[in-house]
Amino acid sequence: IDVRAAAIEVVERMGLLPGLREAHIDTRHSTFVDTRGRTIARLTPDDFTGSPEGRDVEVPRGDLARLLYERTRDDVEYLFEDTITALDRDTEGVHVTFRNAPPRTVDLVVGADGLHSAVRGLAFGPETGFRHDLGFAFAGFSMDDPWGHDREFIAHNAPGRMAGCYAVRGRAGIVGTLAFATPPGFAFDPGDDEQQRDLLAAAFADGGWEVPRLVAAMRTAEDLFFDTVSQIRMPRWSTGRVALVGDAAYAPALLSGQGTSLALVGAYV
């Protein structure tokens, strides 16, 4: 994930910037190749973003979560492996029911639980009223690195499809990515892992470059992540004592590369 622009000042005020700089994966460049693996173009991260060189930070998502947790764990009560299942509001506050923990009454509920926010669904209604799909689906997964890549992203584009992989500094293996254009009304079962793998395999059945290797790795990956490329658009982000922040309220879609920065700035505001 990327931390850019105004979000840099926010994480600096939070005291997190030194830790993020240390975790910075320092991608050297992105390379675009044809069906035979020949380089078409090569760009630096700053070419993409237009930011001053060396100002932005790119880190694994887990590293940002770890830094936030370490900074707050002595002052904040965390309930891991749990979720909110019901919200009942009255003049005393919000009565919160959890899947595992005992219920409690609180003064304020802030949903920071992502594109498919459970809090948003409970407080504002079904996701379908706010999610706007942009016509693509994507997947990410871990795989072995047979090429010896280092700190770079490599992508092969064809009409309606993109296949790629990127190597993160200091981490074994690489991350494979597959994205394809979807027809109007495209839907999938979030709980059906095999259906997602079949959709990806069908979309890339005749791919060039190293696409067959990526598809094979996707088939057996234990950490496959699959979703649509979507935005969240809402007329308001609060209702009574319940509010939303980050992707739960205003997901800009992963294509923007700004979701984390917007979430950090929005939480600060």
**What's the pLDDT tens digit per position in 53-63?**
668 899 988 99
One-letter amino acid for residue 211 of the chain: V
pLDDT (0 to 100) of residue 171: 77
In this structure, of 40-54, 129-143, 218-232, the range with the lowest mean pLDDT score is: 40-54
Can you tell me whether residue 172 is helix, strand or coil?
Answer: coil
**What's the pLDDT tens digit per position in 194-217?**
999 999 999 999 889 999 999 999
pLDDT band of 168, cuts 50, 70, 90: confident
pLDDT (0 to 100) of residue 26: 80
Query: What's the order of all strands across the beta sheet hosting 152-158?
Result: 39-43, 29-33, 152-158, 161-166, 174-181, 131-143, 225-232
Mean pLDDT of the chain: 93
Check if the beta carbon of residue 156 is closer than 8 Å to that of residue 210.
yes
- Alpha carbons within 13 A on the beta-carbon side of 127: 16
In this structure, of 137-146, 170-179, 182-191, 237-246, the range with the lowest mean pLDDT score is: 170-179
pLDDT (0 to 100) of residue 151: 84
pLDDT (0 to 100) of residue 53: 65
pLDDT band of 50, cuts 50, 70, 90: low
pLDDT (0 to 100) of residue 45: 73
Shortest CA distance to 201 belongs to which of 186, 217, 185? 217
- In this predicted structure, the answer to whether residue 64 has a pLDDT above a threshold of 70 is yes
Which residue did the predictor score with more confidence, 1 or 124?
124
Tell me the mean pLDDT in the region 230-240: 97
Shortest CA distance to 163 belongs to which of 115, 205, 220, 222? 205
Can you tell me whether residue 153 is helix, strand or coil?
Answer: strand
